[in-house]
Amino acid sequence: MTQDGFFETDVKSAGLSDINFTVYCGTLAHTPKLGVLEVIPNAVVGVDQDGIIVFITPNAADDPLKAVSAYDPTLSLTQVDVINTDLQNESCFWFPGFFDTHIHAPQFSNNGIFGNSTLLDWLEKYTFPLESSFKDLSIAKEHYERVIDRTLSNGTTCASYYATIHPLASKLLAEIALKKGQRAFIGKVCMDKNSPDHYIETADECKQATLDVIDHIEKIDPEMELIAPIITPRFAGSCTSELLKWLGDLRESKNYHCQTHINETQVEIEWILKQFPDYNTYTDIYNDHNLLSNKTILGHGIHFTEYEKDLISKIGCGVAHCPTSNSSITSGEARIRWLLDAGINVGLGTDCSGGFTPSILEVSKHALLVSRHLVMGSKNEKEKLTVNECLYLATMGGANVCKLQDKAGSFEIGKKWECQLIDLDVQGSALDIFDYQRPNWKENDYVEAKSKFQNLIDKWVFNGDDRNVRKVYTNGRCVVNKEY
Ligand SMILES: Nc1nc2[nH]cnc2c(=O)[nH]1
Ligand SMILES: [Zn+2]
């Protein structure tokens, strides 16, 4: 423990041992482009000591060392670690880790508890009382350990977290993510108005605490191997103009990531525009306070006007789509096709505990269903999202929003080995796979096997859960290994 009471963690020491090269065998599946499922059957993937993918050879899993020699004939094979999946099991595959682009770590214990509330009364009744308790570090520690264990176990390799206003608890969240090996953006929440007396800070306290948390994160992971700070004004409803401007200038000073909520409900929008009478739109408030860049993640974005959509497209902001939360607290249905058509990067967010599930797989399913609800109103079939589009939002879409598209989100040479091993046949899982549904990559022709595999992917999205996640890797390191 350090003097502050935090854990001492060294990201380098958490890496691989003396083995300096690893090959992973098995079928790879990913969605590198919107709506496109690519499958690389029985592949061998070479991963170097930095966790970087250096080769991907399809149909080579029968003799992985041959693939290694073909990549580098001088490599000593005794130093190669071979990780085999169960090759007899054709319903086992590697899939990129999920991105949760919007999650409130301190709200985790409230998952499922929202009654009939809507945003503003939900904040007062359920959220602020829970978050204010994080002044107590022992409460923070228990929640933060559990939320990171749970999201990792569901295949979330990267999460953009809102913490609370408390600097010590926010630093602790960063320490725990680093120790457990989850890639994470950590945002100390900023709020200096419209908040209860027991859960508010002055602008000066907020500035000091924000700098303190950023400094700590930069110290414990100086190379930003896994964690990074993110400037987090809760929303325009809980920050004064003075604080928003200071945060915006800080964001610009070092091109920091930034996250906030926007256009979540009509009542919220009216309430906020009354507080900022000089502005016509919610987006203009953030833009004028210097908070928007291509590293800004805007949570929800359900009720953007045409003008706002064009503005965020021009600036390059990402949107965190949170369909589970938007349905639970009755906020609305975001028009994702409309945003994608404007070239806006969109990822998925659990928004725990506005949303009730920590699983991005489940949120993918909800994104698909919400898009169908939109169609029932608009009669515009184009708004429907497919399974492969939702999986793209859950992986590459999230990577684009977090500006990690060169590091993760799909399998590609030069990217990190950052993925989950999915096993559809795991004992006790809710999936029933019949033998006729299994693809046989060796004996079926590719098109037939691929079509069977697509059906399995669809079944996974609708009926799978964390029990189907056997292993999880971030930055080339195994961080979840479930022995059944
Ligand atoms: N969903 C959601 N919206 C918010 N707007 C401001 N704070 C919050 C929050 O904690 N959750
Ligand atoms: Zn939120």
What separation in Å is there between the alpha carbon of 208 and the centre of ligand 2? 23
Asked whether residue 132 is domain-assigned, the answer is: yes
Give bridge partners of residue 260 from the DSSP assignment: 298
What separation in Å is there between the alpha carbon of 279 and the centre of ligand 2? 23
Instruction: Give the pLDDT score at 157.
Output: 98
Nearest to 112 by CA among 274, 324, 276: 324
Question: Cβ distance 57 to 28 under 8 Å?
Answer: no
Domain's final residue, options 360, 379, 401: 401
Instruction: Look up the domain containing 420 and give its range.
Output: 21-96+411-481
CA distances from 240 to 78, 191, 246 (A): 61, 8, 10
What separation in Å is there between the alpha carbon of 47 and the centre of ligand 2? 36
List the residue whose alpha carbon is closest to atom 2 of ligand 1: 354
DSSP string, 37-61: EEEEEEEEEEEETTSBEEEEETT-T
Instruction: Give the pLDDT score at 87.
Output: 56
Ligand nearest to the CA of 235: 1
Ligand nearest to the CA of 299: 2
Nearest to 114 by CA among 357, 374, 466: 357
Burial of 174 (0-12, 13-18, 19+ CB in 10 A): buried
**Structural domain count of the chain:** 2
Question: Cβ distance 283 to 313 under 8 Å?
Answer: no
- The residue whose CB lies within 8 Å of the most ligand 1 atoms, and thus the one to mutate among 103, 199, 234, is 234
Do 147 and 271 have their domain in common?
yes
What DSSP character marks residue 397? I
Report the nearest atom of ligand 1 relative to the CA of 322. Answer: 1
Do 47 and 70 have their domain in common?
yes
101 Cα distance to chain centroid: 4
What separation in Å is there between the alpha carbon of 123 and the centre of ligand 1? 7
Question: Cβ distance 106 to 127 under 8 Å?
Answer: no
Nearest to 402 by CA among 179, 98, 104: 98
Domain of 355: which CATH number?
3.20.20.140
One-letter identity of residue 346: V
**C-alpha span between 170 and 161 (Å, rounded):** 10
Ligand nearest to the CA of 298: 2
- The residue whose CB lies within 8 Å of the most ligand 1 atoms, and thus the one to mutate among 100, 101, 103, 127, is 127
Do 340 and 304 have their domain in common?
yes
Instruction: Give the pLDDT score at 444.
Output: 85
Instruction: Give the pLDDT score at 84.
Output: 80
Report the nearest atom of ligand 1 relative to the CA of 264. Answer: 3
CA distances from 206 to 232, 246, 309 (A): 11, 10, 30
344-363, pLDDT tens digit by residue? 999 999 999 999 999 999 99
Do 214 and 135 have their domain in common?
yes
**C-alpha span between 389 and 193 (Å, rounded):** 39
User: Do the bridges between strand 419-423 and strand 346-348 make them parallel or antiparallel, or are there none, so unpaired?
Assistant: unpaired
Asked whether residue 360 is domain-assigned, the answer is: yes
What separation in Å is there between the alpha carbon of 87 and the centre of ligand 2? 41
Pocket, ligand 1, Cβ cutoff 6 A: 104, 119, 123, 127, 234-235, 261, 264, 325, 351, 354
Alpha-carbon torsion 96, 25, 413, 337, what sign? negative
Asked whether residue 1 is domain-assigned, the answer is: no
Reading the block at residue 384, the tokens are 């429907």
Domain of 80: which CATH number?
2.30.40.10
Do 427 and 292 have their domain in common?
no
Q: Percentage of residues in the chain with pLDDT exceeding 90?
A: 90
CA distances from 376 to 362, 371, 380, 384 (A): 21, 9, 8, 10
What separation in Å is there between the alpha carbon of 404 and the centre of ligand 1? 24
Give bridge partners of residue 297 from the DSSP assignment: 259, 318
Do 92 and 105 have their domain in common?
no
Reading the block at residue 265, the tokens are 């409900």
**C-alpha span between 419 and 83 (Å, rounded):** 14
Instruction: Give the pLDDT score at 166.
Output: 98
Report the nearest atom of ligand 1 relative to the CA of 104. Answer: 10
Instruction: Give the pLDDT score at 86.
Output: 64
Do 138 and 218 have their domain in common?
yes
Do 467 and 330 have their domain in common?
no
What separation in Å is there between the alpha carbon of 193 and the centre of ligand 2? 17
Do 203 and 262 have their domain in common?
yes
Do 422 and 287 have their domain in common?
no
- Low-confidence stretches of the chain (pLDDT beneath 50): 1-17
